[in-house]
Amino acid sequence: MNDDVTVSLEVNRTPVARTVPARTLLVQLLRDELGLTGTKVGCDTSTCGACTVLLDGQSVKSCTLLAAQADGCRLTTIEGLATGDDGRLHALQQAFHERHALQCGYCTPGMIMAATSLLEELPRTPTDRDVRAGLEGNLCRCTGYQHIVDAILAVAAERAGSAAQ
Ligand code: FES
Ligand code: FES
């Protein structure tokens, strides 16, 4: 019996379609079929968050979804976050770079995607506690988290400042 499914979706603003076995996970579609290896696999228990992407603007762990569940959706991975045709870094990418919010970098794509969603969802400028609670599904084994939280708070403060002007 052929259990293949055809999945059509928009990935980083580009329409794509692939026919894959029905059991294919979303993270496998991204990495193995589309070559988007910025999305990482850090566990097999859905706990690390290294595989976090945005599905219709919401952060999801792409190892917990079948590729078929993303059919018709709009997906953003770390490769699609940079803004502008010149590849300018997203504010969060820049802040992580400037504030030393990574060491090995393995968790970083997932952290940045989760933070992107968090900053969109919070109705007010987040506190240190908000950021830590918002990122509780993302693990980092290197940094101790403080620099990650600082980078996210810096972007939030910058946005609040621009909005007030
Ligand atoms: S790979 Fe660890 S939560 Fe998805
Ligand atoms: S920087 Fe190494 S796991 Fe986070």
Reported as a pLDDT band with limits 50, 70 and 90, residue 122 is confident
- Chain CA centroid to CA 142, Å: 19
Ligand 2, pocket-test mutation among 141, 148, 152, most atoms within 8 A of CB: 141
pLDDT of residue 64: 98
Q: What is the rounded radius of gyration, in angstroms, for the C-alpha atoms of the chain?
A: 16
Q: Give CA–CA dist 35/65, Å, rounded.
A: 18
Residue 100 Cβ contacting ligand 2 at under 6 Å: no
Reported as a pLDDT band with limits 50, 70 and 90, residue 165 is low
152 forms beta bridges with none
Q: Would the pTM count as exceeding 0.75?
A: yes
Give the dihedral sign, CA 76/93/107/34: positive
Helix (H, G, I), strand (E, B) or coil at 109: helix
90 C-alpha to center of ligand 1: Å? 23
Residue 30 Cβ contacting ligand 1 at under 6 Å: no
Residue 50 Cβ contacting ligand 1 at under 6 Å: yes
Average pLDDT over residues 63-87: 92
Cα angle at 151 between 154 and 74, to 5 degrees?
A: 100
- Considering only 34-38, 121-125, 137-141, which range has the smallest mean pLDDT? 121-125
Ligand 1 atom at minimal distance to the Cα of residue 41: 1
Residue 142 Cβ contacting ligand 2 at under 6 Å: yes
The mean of the pLDDT values for the chain is 95
Q: What is the DSSP letter of 4?
A: E
Across 14-158, the runs of DSSP E, i.e. the strands, are 14-21, 52-55, 58-61, 74-76
Residue 19 Cβ contacting ligand 1 at under 6 Å: no
Reported as a pLDDT band with limits 50, 70 and 90, residue 83 is confident
88 forms beta bridges with 83
